[in-house]
Amino acid sequence: MKLSLTLDQYADQMRDRGWVILEEAVAPALVEKMANDIERAWDVCSAIMEKNGIATDADLTVHHLIGQRDSYLEFIDTMEPLMPYLEHYFEGKFILNSFGGAINTRARTSYAQRVHRDIRSYSGDMPLLLNTLVMLDDFTADNGATHMLSGSHKAEEKPADEVFYASSEQAIAPAGSILIFNSNVWHAGGDNRTDTARRSVTPMYCKPFIKQQFDYPRAMGYDMIDKLKPHTRQILGYNARVPATLEEWYQPPENRMYRGDQG
């Protein structure tokens, strides 16, 4: 992974604006794999949504891609150079909270295109949650690049839509770029006015003591633990699991399900 900002540049922008773009961070071959895989994931996710009668407001959005397609685990494997940046935000360790994605098209809109923030309880200066968005196509003014309201992580109130759209900027960057933002920032997916899909995946991260939206270690299997790179194991949440038996609870520090360094 290639990082276009130094840690200091990143930290300054995160503090002041609440968001940054790391331009063309992900290698083109991996971007292409992830883009193809999102179409396959949509087939799987939409079939279950249809079956369970909840396919209303989630058009072309997909969820919990880790374990569905290998390219997303491969992406986490490439993230090692980014670890100090995300640890700087969290002031310590962090884990994956969710890993979804969206295929934004002219024909269909989704909930992500409303002005929103992804943390239901405003957390102020406490870094509980961090959004990222990996651009799988070029993000342009016309194809729905995300609207971001700079500095809006500093206030709890929701801005009126007119104020939001008058003052926000779009996150415009080439495919492979990563938009990173404080989850208190108000934002909205843009409208795609082109005939080509604008695809993205949106891994979100949290402090290790927060419950993941999906139990990734259990979904992948606890026996995977020794096969994963140390930073991948950390991100997926293997170092912050909840024991379910006394056998799992009574373990020496190096084997504990919730490790002592997780905060």
Ligand X SMILES: O=C(O)CCC(=O)C(=O)O
**Interface contacts to ligand X, rule CB under 6 A:** 102, 104, 112, 118, 131, 133, 146, 187, 189, 200, 202
Least distance (Å) from ligand X to the CB of residue 139? 8
Least distance (Å) from ligand X to the CB of residue 134? 10
- Residue matched to tokens 């058009």: 59
* Nearer to ligand X (CB atom), residue 146 or residue 234: 146
Whole-angstrom distance, CA of residue 126 vs CA of residue 89: 10
Query: What count of Cα atoms within 13 Å lies in the side-chain half-sphere of residue 19?
Result: 28
* Nearer to ligand X (CB atom), residue 176 or residue 189: 189
Residue 158, phi then psi, degrees to nearest 5? -80, 130
Whole-angstrom distance, CA of residue 31 vs CA of residue 75: 9
Least distance (Å) from ligand X to the CB of residue 61? 9
In three-state secondary structure terms, 242 is coil
Residue whose C-beta lies closest to ligand X: 189
Q: Are 112 and 61 in contact (CB under 8 A)?
A: yes
List the one residue out of 100, 98, 103, 120 whose CA is nearest residue 189. 103
Query: What count of Cα atoms within 13 Å lies in the side-chain half-sphere of residue 29?
Result: 3
Q: Are 76 and 66 in contact (CB under 8 A)?
A: yes
* Nearer to ligand X (CB atom), residue 60 or residue 82: 60
Q: How many CB atoms lie under 10 A from the CB of residue 190?
A: 23
* Nearer to ligand X (CB atom), residue 200 or residue 239: 200
* Nearer to ligand X (CB atom), residue 66 or residue 228: 66
Helix H or strand E segment including 62: strand 61-62
Least distance (Å) from ligand X to the CB of residue 60? 10
At 29, the amino acid letter reads: A
Least distance (Å) from ligand X to the CB of residue 224? 27
In three-state secondary structure terms, 102 is strand
Least distance (Å) from ligand X to the CB of residue 118? 5
* Nearer to ligand X (CB atom), residue 64 or residue 241: 64
Least distance (Å) from ligand X to the CB of residue 168? 12
* Nearer to ligand X (CB atom), residue 104 or residue 140: 104
